[in-house]
Amino acid sequence: MIQLREIKKTYVLGKTKVEALKGINLRVKKGEFVCVVGPSGSGKSTLLNIIGCLDQPDSGEVIVDNEKITNLNRNQLADFRANKIGFIFQSFNLIPVLNVYENIELPLLFMREQMPAKEKRAKIMQLIEEVGLKNEVSHKPDELSGGQRQRVAIARALVTGPKIVLADEPTANLDSATAQTIISLMRRLNEEEKVTFIFSTHDLSVTKYATNLYQLKDGRLVE
Amino acid sequence: MALLRKAIRQTANLAIKNIGRHPIKNILVGLVIILAGNIFLVTGSLADNSRKNWRHFFASTFLGDYNLTAYKGKQKDFTLPVLSLPDTFIPTQLYEELEKQGVAYTKRIKLGAVVYNEENGDFEGTPVTILGVDLAEEYKRLSNLQFTAGTINPELAEGVLVWAELADYYRWTVGKEITLFLEDIDGNTLPFDFTITGIISNKTGKALDGTGSIPLFPLVFVSYEYLNLLLGLEEDAATDLAVWDQTLQHETELKGLAKKHGLQFFYGEQGFEVIWGVIEFIYFIGIFIEVFILVVLVVSTFNLNMMGFFERKKELGTMYALGAKSGLIVSLFLMEMIIFTVVAFGCSVLLYLLISLATARGLELGGGLGLAFAGAKVHLQLVPSVAFVAFLAIILAMIGSSIYPVYLTTKINPVEVFREAEI
């Protein structure tokens, strides 16, 4: 499903060069629930951004769903993300002017092929039910708690039926009880929807749900 | 197609929600659009009133609804009478063509004349325009013309009607014999005697009575046949044709005929350079104010767009991350702009219609302002062409002001945006 070969990435921050990834090799199979742990600044976000086609490595090869994404242009990458990848962000990144339903519906607008209205509505409502927000359908993000917002983000990530969901520190802005609930929800959806999940965290208490656990240390991945 | 419509609807839905983010600021920009729209509509209507009122004034006072002249260039101007006949006259073929089309017209001879003062044996004042017309026929058509003294005397071939303002200037009265120097067909300038049988003025447009030393309308009307005879012209020769057609049906055809026969087509107000200048001045003032308000609109919208861009940078980054392409983000911004402009311009038109309804009886303007509108009432009306130009100008200004912010949105890199947000 995902194959990373000798991925290297260096950032220039002002006058300093930061070697975020120093030759990452990774294989993720379909349906796995992968967790990447590591302290802040260890390169977790960079790794997820590269897998998610948001960033390009300086060298190395990235193959996602049998497609070598390092060869794709900006528009092709956008298409790839819209159709095959779902994102869950640390700070939720919901659109404040849209309600729960509309936020979940948003990625469908970016897909190459539009879903028929009935099917779309059924899919959104099913996800809303699965993430337990049936009573908050018309609520705007500022009317929701942190946990509820992240549930919306999870539903939004799954609405397009992606092959992979990438979650960059999805529990960082949540209290520990909510964090456990969110990760267990992700795990349940991973099992039910057979979607590959890769999430990063520095909270070791949520790593127990992972089928595969990797540690990112000094730009290198350790299983 | 249905799916595309749906996508447009969804983008529009998102655009509408985005407009609602800054109600106060958007209301302020909306007010600028409403103001800009009204300035366009009001100044456009004022210019239209000025043009229409003057056209009607001239058509009903001493010119036709449309005019064709054999004189070239600025020589159509009545305020600067031309002292020589034109090289060619209206071709007789044109009369036939007009008759075939059922267009009513009258033949005229227009020529500049110099007034001779017998008392001091000298020429005086500026030249006047002598207009050879079928007096009885034209008096029926010139509904805004009235006699302040005397009348038409068909028995007296050399009888003339003089404009009241001109009579005041030269202290002419009914029955007085006057001598005018005219250049005949052979180029000889000869004195001709005429007898004043009537003094005429306009019924409406009293505000136009000149108080200066030069009469605004220096006109002398004389019998067409008699003037032809005096100047040695052929029986049906004419320098000008006044066309009477209030239905405006034949305007394009007449322009075509004028071009075909090498004649000049002109509207009444174009026959008086000074009046044309007044109308152009209204247009100029209107355009000046409109440009100013458009600049205000561009600056305020640009600021609002830049603010929107920086505030929504993270959201736009999220959209890119979720798979949005630049085209969609650009269309989202443009759609916001178009929806906002259409709604604000709609409000602008509505307000203008309310103002025009409140002033439906017409605005009476005196003094210099009266002169701008031929002394008639001003009716604020919605001129479709002006409304179209106003909408086009406003929407272009709005789009123009959003080019740079929209360009910035296409350069958003989600990774950088998220990193900035973390900092």
A93 interfaces chain B, CB cutoff of 8 Å: yes
Taking the C-alpha atoms of residue A96 and residue A94, their distance in angstroms, rounded to an integer, is 6
Please tell me whether residue B290 adopts helix, strand or coil conformation: helix
* A43–chain B Cβ distance below 8 A for any pair: no
How confident is the model over B287-333, as pLDDT tens digits?
Answer: 999 999 999 999 988 988 888 888 889 999 999 999 999 988 888 88
What is the DSSP pairing of strand A164-168 with strand A196-201? parallel
Interface of B with A in 320-349 (CB under 8 A): 320-326, 328
Residue A111 lies in a domain: yes
In a domain, A107, yes or no: yes
Predicted ipTM of the assembly: 0.92
Does residue A24 fall inside a structural domain?
A: no
The residue range of the domain holding A204 is: 30-59+72-222
Provide the number of CB pairs (under 8 Å) joining chain A to chain B. Answer: 74
- The number of distinct structural domains making up chain A is 1
Ramachandran angles phi, psi of B382, nearest 5°:
-80, 110
Which residues face A200 on adjacent strands?
Answer: A36, A168
- For B168, the enclosing helix (H) or strand (E) is helix B164-170
- Name beta bridge partners: B127: none
How distant, in Å, are the alpha carbons of A46, A159, B320, B421 from that of B317?
16, 19, 5, 10
The 10s digit of each residue's pLDDT in B11-32 is: 777 778 777 777 888 888 899 9
Task: Give the list of residues 6+ apart from residue A112 with CB closer than 8 angstroms, or none.
Answer: A79, A82, A83
Q: A20, A22, A8, A42: which is closest to A215 by C-alpha? A: A42
- Residue A119 included in any domain: yes
| From A91, A110, A114, residue closest to B322, measured CB to CB | A110
Decide if A81 and B21 are in contact by the 8 Å CB cutoff: no
B324–A82 CB contact, under 8 Å: yes
Confidence of residue B208 (pLDDT cuts 50, 70, 90): low
Has residue A15 been placed in a domain?
no
Q: Tell me whether A89 touches chain B (CB under 8 Å).
A: yes
Which tens digit of pLDDT belongs to each residue from A124-172? Answer: 999 898 888 889 999 999 999 988 999 999 999 989 989 899 999 888 8
Please tell me the distance in Å from A114's CA to the nearest CA on chain B: 6
Contact assignment for A82 to B421 by CB distance below 8 Å: no
Res B38: pLDDT: 94
The model's confidence at residue B392, banded by pLDDT at 50, 70 and 90, is very high
Which of A82, A89, A91 has its CB closest to that of B323?
A82
Backbone angles phi, psi at A59, to 5 degrees: -150, 165
Give me the residue from B13, B314, B323 closest to A110, CB to CB.
B323
At A51, which CATH number? 3.40.50.300
Closest among A122, A7, A79, A214 to B328, alpha carbons compared: A79
Please indicate, yes or no, if residue A12 is contained in any of the structural domains.
Answer: no
* Cα distances (angstroms) measured from residue B403 to each of B34, B296, B394, B397, B412: 22, 16, 14, 10, 15
Residue A101: inside a domain: yes
What CA–CA distances, in Å, run from B277 to A52, A157, B211, B272, B280? 68, 67, 19, 9, 5
Structural domain contains residue A153: yes
Contacts of A109 in chain B (CB under 8 A): 7, 10-11, 14, 324, 328
Per-residue pLDDT at B358: 94
Chain B segment 20-39 residues within 8 A of A by beta carbon are 20-21
> Token digits for B193?
């005697």
Give, as one character, the DSSP assignment of residue B411.
Answer: T
Tell me how far apart the alpha carbons of residues A85 and A41 are, in angstroms, rounded to a whole number.
24
